């Protein structure tokens, strides 16, 4: 052979370096490599060396602002001054048209007396099994009313019953959108000319003009943040809040709980297998 095995040794050197680096990296963090917020950021960055494992589900890789998963519908904050919980969707149907796998069904609202369409969807369904997470609906919605979510944990035990999301399940507060994607939320608000829905801004601008005041919203801070969240919860229709806008789960003992349930499952299996 040409190299008399030198090439293999060179290659093995690379493997050995990787092997050592992993331990060097472990040693660097002195046992605090996992479940550690600051180090997690470093490990996900460009300075990371050596192999590492993300301890899912205790740890999760952070998703960037533009990350897109199954869409949700934006509604007014439940503690908003006027029309809390109102849909931003005007049932114009653009999302249903631009959806490549055609997984969106919208029933346009109609005035029961006149029969004319009203700018509110009567029903809104998304089949999340069909959704291909392309993000067109959010991209082309003229009212910023449909947005892509960051919640990718949608597994359920029964897909037939649970995977067609209705309006209630799809609706989330504007505050939630602001919380998962602040940069884009501000950019869009600046483009709309205010924090509110396009149509509301139009009315408010008109009112401000009549009152002789200048329409000059403050984009540096989201008004929802100023409102006390606790007061908000008291005002909001409680049942809907629980169903519709689940707050991000804050559970101190989550990791412990998951571990415990795993242990239990293992124990059960051992028992079964004898």
Partner 1 sequence: MTMTDQVGPDLKTTDIEGAIDALKDMFPGVVSDDTREGYSGVMVDADKLVEVATAARDQLGFDYLSSATAVDYGQPDPDNPIDDPVIDGSMEMVYHAYRTSGGGALAFKTKTDRDKAEIPSLIGVWPGADFQEREAYDLFGIHFAGHPNLKRILLWDGFQGHPMRKDWKEAYYEQETKPFDSRWPGGHVHRAEEKNAYGKNVRYPADFDLSKLNDTSEDQLYAGMGLGVDIETLSGEPHMKTDRLVVNLGPHHPSTHGVFRMIATIEGETVNTLEPVMGYLHRNHEKIGERNTYLHNMPFTDRLDYISSMGNNFGYAMAIEQLLANGKRYNPPTYRAEVIRVLMAELTRIVNHFWSIGFLLNDLGAFFTPALYAISEREKILDFFEAAAGSRMMCNYMRFGGVAYDVPERIRSVASLVNDQVRDFDTMEYLTELINERLPRAIDELDRYLTDSEIVRSRTIGVGYLPPEAAIAYSTAGPLLRASGVPYDVRRADPYSIYPELDFDICTRDNGDIYDRYVIRLDEMRESIRILKQVLPRLEKTKGEDFFAGSKQHTPRVPIGEAYGRVENPKGELGFYVISAGDKKGTQNPWRYHVRAPSFINLTPLGLMSTGTKVADVVAILGSIDIVLGETDR
Restricted to residues 204-263, the positions that interact with partner 1 (CB under 8 A) are 248, 254
Question: Taking the mean position of all CA atoms in its chain, how far away is CA 48?
Answer: 26
CB 175 within 8 A of CB 228: no
Q: Rounded to an integer, what distance in angstroms lies between the CA atom of residue 26 and that of residue 75? A: 46
Q: Rounded to an integer, what distance in angstroms lies between the CA atom of residue 154 and that of residue 129? A: 10
182 contributes a contact to partner 1 by CB under 8 A = yes
Q: Rounded to an integer, what distance in angstroms lies between the CA atom of residue 41 and that of residue 233? A: 33
We find the least distance from the C-beta atom of residue 202 to partner 1, in angstroms, to be: 21
**Interacting residue with partner 1 among 30, 31, 37, 213 (CB under 8 A):** 37
**Interacting residue with partner 1 among 84, 117, 217, 223 (CB under 8 A):** 117
**Interacting residue with partner 1 among 125, 174, 195, 222 (CB under 8 A):** 125
Stretch binding partner 1 (CB under 8 A), from 13-21, 23-31, 218-226, 258-266: 13-21
We find the least distance from the C-beta atom of residue 74 to partner 1, in angstroms, to be: 17
CB 75 within 8 A of CB 169: no
Whether the link from the prior residue into 3 is cis, omega within 30° of 0, is no
**Interacting residue with partner 1 among 21, 44, 229, 264 (CB under 8 A):** 44
Size of the site for partner 1 (CB under 8 A): 72
- DSSP characters over 172-214: EEHHHHHHH-HHHHHHHHHHHTSSS-HHHHHHHHHHHHHTT--
102 contributes a contact to partner 1 by CB under 8 A = yes
106 contributes a contact to partner 1 by CB under 8 A = yes
Q: Rounded to an integer, what distance in angstroms lies between the CA atom of residue 55 and that of residue 37? A: 12
We find the least distance from the C-beta atom of residue 112 to partner 1, in angstroms, to be: 16
Q: Rounded to an integer, what distance in angstroms lies between the CA atom of residue 161 and that of residue 158? A: 6
**Interacting residue with partner 1 among 119, 135, 193, 217 (CB under 8 A):** 135
161 contributes a contact to partner 1 by CB under 8 A = no
């Amino acid at each position: 052979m040409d190299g008399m095995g030198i090439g293999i040794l060179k290659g093995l050197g690379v493997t050995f370096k990787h092997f050592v680096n992993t331990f060097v990296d472990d040693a660097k963090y002195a046992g605090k490599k996992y479940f550690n917020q600051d180090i997690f950021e470093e490990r996900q960055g460009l300075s990371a060396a050596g192999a590492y494992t993300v301890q899912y589900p205790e740890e999760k890789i952070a998703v960037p602002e533009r990350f897109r998963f199954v869409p949700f519908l934006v509604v007014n904050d439940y503690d908003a001054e006027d029309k809390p919980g109102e849909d931003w969707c005007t049932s114009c149907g653009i999302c249903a048209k631009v959806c490549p796998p055609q997984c969106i069904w919208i029933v346009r609202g109609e005035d029961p007396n006149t029969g004319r369409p009203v700018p509110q969807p009567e029903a809104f369904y998304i089949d999340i099994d069909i959704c291909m997470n392309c993000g067109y609906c959010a991209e082309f919605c003229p009212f910023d009313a449909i947005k892509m979510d960051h919640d990718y944990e949608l597994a359920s035990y029964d897909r037939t019953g649970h995977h067609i999301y209705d309006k209630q399940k799809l609706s989330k507060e504007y505050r939630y959108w602001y919380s998962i994607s602040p940069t884009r939320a501000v950019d869009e608000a600046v483009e709309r000319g205010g924090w509110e829905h396009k149509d509301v801004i139009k009315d408010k601008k008109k009112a401000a003009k009549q009152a002789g005041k200048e329409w000059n919203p403050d984009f540096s801070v989201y008004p929802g943040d100023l409102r006390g969240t606790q007061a908000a919860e008291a005002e909001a229709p409680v049942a809907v809040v629980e169903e519709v806008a689940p707050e991000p789960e804050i559970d101190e003992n989550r990791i412990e709980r998951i571990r415990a349930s795993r242990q239990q499952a293992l124990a059960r299996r051992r028992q079964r297998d004898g």
